[in-house]
Chains A and B, each alone.
Chain A
């Protein structure tokens, strides 16, 4: 049962991060297409935001790993 929970949780965390990073990529691509000269600024903001999104997803992943290895029981 714990294994099932860990698997489902990791999947949902991945879905959330995927949607978030996809939206960031969409925004960045549109921004760069409109204003190619702002490439450097957009790239910096994109990496920063992607890191923040990914951090939240990794919280979920760490909890799943803890369930999987039975840490904290």
Chain B
């Protein structure tokens, strides 16, 4: 325990030196443009992967005017003469628009990294349990203890509370997998140079589509009868209910995607805004006002980061919880009586 704490302290001390380099890099950029500060509307370039001390360009895969183009980086795409840059975005040199942009973005890279990390952790833990730690003996070490408590929490609070036992057994691996995958993607927002993959609507929409497919795959006859022919009400009400229920089927995954996306994005925007206040005040009232603002803004940002860590955890939990609830709702014949209350997202 003391050892782990000391390791954490060393890591924190190391992190203190990182912002210094960041500040040095920022100074160079400030002198380059003397435009009024546009704090929020700076669109970040996602076609490069940043790491401490530098960045590498990521490949571009584009479909324009019926042709597929593959480039190693954005600069190479411009060099080839087939594309030009306009307002910070690539456009085909001979007119027209890019029809489909399948470029590998930093969000996708962080998606893969999170996937590898969660896969590695789970497979490592599986090997440990196969060896007998935790099955024949007590779980060994702080990491296995933490893993097991999370694992059991998801199994009992998410899967078994909302699903009947057979389904809980069937869907628990998915629920747990999506929980730690989203958790790691969210937590990367706290790392310097890190990108929040879940602050991208395409990532969360993909996850929501997966949960939508799994929900429908397991839907029962009576679930669909309630959508198209609601039992126990007059006939004209049944016709009235059809569009509402049908929309409800699709708003559930849509709400799932937008909720995660908006939560992670708003955390990001809030931090940029509050740190941006320093520069806005410094520009309009002089350097002293900037210093004075930073006394307030920096502690607020620190507390916002703490809030973000909690939100990362809660949102990952809510995504897997709601997926379990929706699967349970589509499984209407077998739902327990207290679950009869309709949940509309």
Contact status A69-B41, CB under 8 Å: yes
| Interface residue from A44, A47, A59, A62 paired with B161 (Cβ < 8 Å) | A44
| Interface residue from A48, A54, A55, A68 paired with B40 (Cβ < 8 Å) | A68
The reply to whether the CB of B258 lies closer than 8 angstroms to some CB of chain A is yes
- Select from chain A the residue with minimum beta-carbon distance to B263: A58
The reply to whether the CB of B314 lies closer than 8 angstroms to some CB of chain A is yes
List the count of A-B residue pairs having beta carbons below 8 Å apart: 45
Contact status A55-B255, CB under 8 Å: yes
| Interface residue from A44, A52, A61 paired with B343 (Cβ < 8 Å) | A52
The reply to whether the CB of B322 lies closer than 8 angstroms to some CB of chain A is yes
Contact status A65-B269, CB under 8 Å: yes
Contact status B262-A61, CB under 8 Å: yes
- Select from chain A the residue with minimum beta-carbon distance to B344: A52
Interface range on chain B (Cβ under 8 Å from partner): 20 to 34
| Interface residue from A47, A56, A61, A69 paired with B266 (Cβ < 8 Å) | A61
Contact status A47-B314, CB under 8 Å: yes
Contact status B258-A58, CB under 8 Å: yes
- Select from chain A the residue with minimum beta-carbon distance to B157: A44
| Interface residue from B157, B266, B343 paired with A58 (Cβ < 8 Å) | B266
Within 8 A of A (CB), among B243-276: 255, 258-259, 261-263, 265-266, 269
A48-B322, A55-B255 are known contacts; what are 8 more A-B pairs with Cβ within 8 Å?
Answer: A44-B161, A48-B321, A51-B259, A54-B259, A54-B263, A61-B266, A62-B261, A68-B41
Q: List 27 A-B contacts (CB under 8 A).
A: A47-B318, A47-B321, A48-B318, A48-B322, A51-B318, A51-B321, A51-B322, A52-B255, A52-B343, A52-B344, A52-B345, A55-B259, A55-B345, A58-B258, A58-B259, A58-B266, A59-B255, A59-B258, A59-B262, A61-B262, A61-B266, A62-B258, A62-B261, A62-B265, A65-B265, A65-B269, A68-B40
- Which residues of B are interface residues toward A (Cβ below 8 A)? 40-41, 157, 161, 255, 258-259, 261-263, 265-266, 269, 314, 317-318, 321-322, 325, 343-345
- Which residues of A are interface residues toward B (Cβ below 8 A)? 44, 47-48, 51-52, 54-56, 58-59, 61-62, 65, 68-69
